[in-house]
Structure 1
Amino acid sequence: MVEFRGYRLAGLTAASLLAVSLAGTAHAQVTLNVITAGDQNMLDYINDFLAPKFEAKNPGVKVRAVGTGPGDSGSQSVFEKLKAQKANDKWDVDVAVVHQFISGPMMNEGLLAKYTGDIEAGKLATRDSAKNALGANVEGYVMPMFNSQIAVAYNPDMVKEPPRTYQQLADWVKANPKKFGYNGIKGGMSGVGFVTGWMYAFAPSGLGITTSYDANAKSNWKDALASLKEFNKNAVITPGNAGTLDMLGRGEIAMGPVWVDMFYSWMGDGKLNPNTKLVLLGPGMPGQPMYYVLPAKATNQDAAKKFIDFAASPEIQAEGIVKRYNWYPGIDAQHVQKYLDQATWNKLFTNVTPADLATKGKVFPVAAHLKEIQESYEANVTQ
């Protein structure tokens, strides 16, 4: 299983979840149980930000959220908890927040309800990530909580005319050796995402590998991998996601792929040249959403739908997702604009516009193809 960029929170047992879910029920007509894979900030976001606001608008409802752990294992724990209750008439989880990779298996196992057509916010998320999860058609079953996006950061003092496509980047790197850096295929998902975008641009299968598995696709990747090996001769392999940003901040490289939220965190901490900008390369670069999902037999389905609709509403997405965490919203970006001050809007959406996100913000490919890309890189590019 591919290990996506993770979040760090000690896992909680099913017994812990039950204990927390029962706490506070004496004074509430409904306790809405939410479980989330993710870092402490994910849990704090729900308990400290979403819950009080939702409860104020919905008297008699109490929101209780607990975490299941970081990365893939946290989402796997959600999957296993719901599967263990599959035979029960009602389940004790009303809303779950999971990584992209697990949503397809959860849907196929019959653990999720199809619900986004029943909420207003469901109309506001039209990106591929609202429909496609590593090749699984999850349309109707998932609502993106936010979208983490990979883009290329560049220092305009060193790059006067930034490349706008992968082909332009290849030409630029050839003319400016050792000024572009990325973290290969093992140093973090920004590097994996960059390589994936390269395959979208240069492999004959292109973006077709995001929607279905083609057993013949890999056999036609030879030229794309050979061109990437040649590209690497003039590139710098950096030591991880943070390593790319560090080298960029110290002026050792002029460009490199980064996670946008990490980029703005580093910018806010003064670790980057304040003039540093972002560009999303065509035909596209992948990102990784987190999803709100509705368990198929949630005890409080109506309240759960109302909670997700509230959490995905433009005003809440603007205040919580964009302003607090520098994430791109789960809904289409244009819907949050009127709820943001001009400085916040300009920070996130001037270099990478809503139109860029809509046309060039892509999903990762079908899981089997993503694994093949990583294996092919190791076999043909690093050797």
Structure 2
Amino acid sequence: MKFLVAGVASTVALAAAGCGGENTSAGSSGEGKTVRLYIGGDVNVRGLWEKTLIPAFREAHPGYDVRVTFSEHGVNDTTTLAKLGAAVKADQDAGFDLADSGLVRQAATSGLLAKVDTTSVPNLANVDESALEPVDHAAVPYRGSSVVLAYNSSKVKEPPQTLDELLAWIKANPGKFTYNSPSTGGSGQSFVTTVLDKFLSEEDRQKMVEGYVPELESLWDEGFAVLKELHPAIYQGVYPNGNQDVLNLLGKGEIWMAPVWSDMALSSMESGLLGPEIKLTQIRNPSFTGGAAYLGMPKNARNKEAALKLLNWVLEPEQQQKIVEVLAGYPAINLEKMPAEVQEKFAGLETQNLRLTYSQKMISDLNNLWQQKVPG
């Protein structure tokens, strides 16, 4: 399957890791059996770990524990990645044993994370090997999702099918579309990236996915100009702060269309935040981005044995089903390993061959340039 972010360590450990972030309490356990997990993402990912996965892991493995450092929207990812690089180079403790964050892919391809295979993580045998290629087999995909187009079917009878059709629809329906600022969440970031990609060759885009090529950023100018032209048609000229705020506007009927994460949208449908009139589709030429969420372990992680135990455990079908139920995330293991009701849940949604987004450093530059060139 290929797919398109408890408690905390002490203040001293946080300082060592450079993670910052928001802290909660996780209890205690023996030295070497506590996995220190850095999470960079939305609050729903934090909730998945703290309310579901961590309690279940403790019950399944008495004596083991997980402690969380949380950075909402991954605002500390760049700093954490830099500190990880310095720690690995100096063979010092990075301050965490696993990371669930957008930084994992770059850390993996930069040689900062431990390689994984079926010897260290036996349940990787149930994961499509293609999902390991973007991280050079140095991280474990444990869930997936993609950005999709959500629309109010009571207002929009024929949703756009391509990016060009979507851009035309936004201009023709002022005030009925928005996206969150790209630095505050992946759905808005995906929309921006997709518009920029419209003007890139596949070769140049791939360079931005695989590494840091700031000399190519001038190729984004046409895309940023298109985004600037859209500004008068954006809902109240406002770019919400995060993925969830966009879903809230959809649920209230303030807007009729927006890019959203598939997992967050499906969860919101189940909870009733989004009514039955909200439907999901995927655009083409190009499609929105997506992929796996990875768990990565620093090369010199202090608690490797416990971390590997957690990595293998989270790939069991039972845990994968919990992820589906809580986040509506795509399973990381092959779909045929999952119950029939899970297979039916994702009928009609593309869960393979999803477009990867840019590398972490390229995304950081994109966020800054968008702020300079688009709003206002």
Is the CA contact (8 Å cut-off) linking 2:114 and 2:139 kept in structure 1? no
Structure 2 CA distance for partners of 1:164 and 1:206, relative to 1, 3 Å: farther
Is the CA contact (8 Å cut-off) linking 1:213 and 1:368 kept in structure 2? yes
User: CA offsets per residue over residues 123-155 of structure 1, 9 Å max, x none?
Assistant: 5545876443xxxxx311100222343222112
Task: Kindly indicate whether residue 374 of structure 2 is the aligned counterpart of residue 381 of structure 1.
Answer: yes
Equivalent residue for 1:20? Answer: 28
Question: How many Å separate the matches in 2 of 1:145 and 1:223?
Answer: 36
Equivalent residue for 2:192? Answer: 195
User: AA paired with 2:211?
Assistant: S
Is the CA contact (8 Å cut-off) linking 1:36 and 1:43 kept in structure 2? no
Equivalent residue for 1:286? Answer: 289
Is the CA contact (8 Å cut-off) linking 1:99 and 1:289 kept in structure 2? no
Question: How many Å separate the matches in 1 of 2:183 and 2:193?
Answer: 13
Counting only pairs closer than 5 Å after superposition, residues 39-78 of structure 1 correspond to structure 2 as 39=46, 41-53=48-60, 55=61, 62-71=63-72, 72=74, 73=76, 76=80
Counting only pairs closer than 5 Å after superposition, residues 213-292 of structure 1 correspond to structure 2 as 213-236=212-235, 237-240=238-241, 241-282=243-284, 283-287=286-290, 289-292=292-295
User: AA paired with 1:273?
Assistant: G
Question: How many Å separate the matches in 1 of 2:125 and 2:239?
Answer: 40
Question: How many Å separate the matches in 1 of 2:111 and 2:357?
Answer: 22
Aligned to 2:36, the other structure's residue is in SS state strand
Q: Kindly state the Cα deviation for residue 306 of structure 1 after the two structures are TM-superposed.
A: 5.1
Structure 2 CA distance for partners of 1:340 and 1:65, relative to 1, 3 Å: same
Is the CA contact (8 Å cut-off) linking 1:125 and 1:330 kept in structure 2? yes
User: CA offsets per residue over residues 178-230 of structure 1, 9 Å max, x none?
Assistant: 33222244554422221112212333444542123334422222322222222
Equivalent residue for 1:58? Answer: none
Counting only pairs closer than 5 Å after superposition, residues 1-383 of structure 1 correspond to structure 2 as 12-13=10-11, 20-22=28-30, 32-38=33-39, 39=46, 41-53=48-60, 55=61, 62-71=63-72, 72=74, 73=76, 76=80, 83=87, 87=91, 96-102=98-104, 104-105=106-107, 108=110, 110=112, 112-118=113-119, 119-126=121-128, 130-132=132-134, 138-185=135-182, 188-204=185-201, 205-236=204-235, 237-240=238-241, 241-282=243-284, 283-287=286-290, 289-297=292-300, 305=308, 307-313=310-316, 315-331=317-333, 335-342=334-341, 344-347=342-345, 349-352=346-349, 356-359=350-353, 361-382=354-375
Is the CA contact (8 Å cut-off) linking 1:32 and 1:94 kept in structure 2? no
Structure 2 CA distance for partners of 1:152 and 1:145, relative to 1, 3 Å: same
User: CA offsets per residue over residues 52-90 of structure 1, 9 Å max, x none?
Assistant: 33x3xxxxx7422111233444893996699399658xx
Is the CA contact (8 Å cut-off) linking 1:100 and 1:288 kept in structure 2? no
Question: How many Å separate the matches in 1 of 2:142 and 2:178?
Answer: 30
Comparing 239-248 with 66-75, greater Cα deviation is found at 66-75
Q: Kindly state the Cα deviation for residue 92 of structure 1 after the two structures are TM-superposed.
A: 11
Percent of pairs with identical residues? 24
User: CA offsets per residue over residues 327-383 of structure 1, 9 Å max, x none?
Assistant: 22334xxx23552352x5444x1342xxx2322x33331233223322332333335
Structure 2 CA distance for partners of 1:216 and 1:223, relative to 1, 3 Å: same
Is the CA contact (8 Å cut-off) linking 2:156 and 2:256 kept in structure 1? yes
Q: CA RMSD in A?
A: 3.9
Aligned to 1:357, the other structure's residue is in SS state coil
Question: How many Å separate the matches in 2 of 1:234 and 1:81?
Answer: 42
Aligned to 2:178, the other structure's residue is in SS state strand
User: CA offsets per residue over residues 293-333 of structure 1, 9 Å max, x none?
Assistant: 344356775675454233223x13432211233222334xx
User: AA paired with 1:373?
Assistant: L
Q: Kindly state the Cα deviation for residue 101 of structure 1 after the two structures are TM-superposed.
A: 0.9
Question: How many Å separate the matches in 2 of 1:109 and 1:207?
Answer: 19
Aligned to 1:20, the other structure's residue is in SS state coil
Compute the TM-score of the two structures, normalised by the length of structure 2: 0.75
Aligned to 1:364, the other structure's residue is in SS state coil
User: AA paired with 2:213?
Assistant: D
User: AA paired with 2:257?
Assistant: M
Question: How many Å separate the matches in 2 of 1:231 and 1:142?
Answer: 38
Structure 2 CA distance for partners of 1:196 and 1:15, relative to 1, 3 Å: closer
Aligned to 1:221, the other structure's residue is in SS state helix
Q: Kindly state the Cα deviation for residue 243 of structure 1 after the two structures are TM-superposed.
A: 2.9
Is the CA contact (8 Å cut-off) linking 2:94 and 2:301 kept in structure 1? yes
How many residues are matched?
Answer: 346
Question: How many Å separate the matches in 1 of 2:360 and 2:127?
Answer: 23
Aligned to 1:243, the other structure's residue is in SS state helix
Is the CA contact (8 Å cut-off) linking 1:317 and 1:329 kept in structure 2? no
Structure 2 CA distance for partners of 1:76 and 1:367, relative to 1, 3 Å: closer
Question: How many Å separate the matches in 2 of 1:362 and 1:250?
Answer: 30
Structure 2 CA distance for partners of 1:79 and 1:325, relative to 1, 3 Å: farther
Question: How many Å separate the matches in 2 of 1:78 and 1:124?
Answer: 32
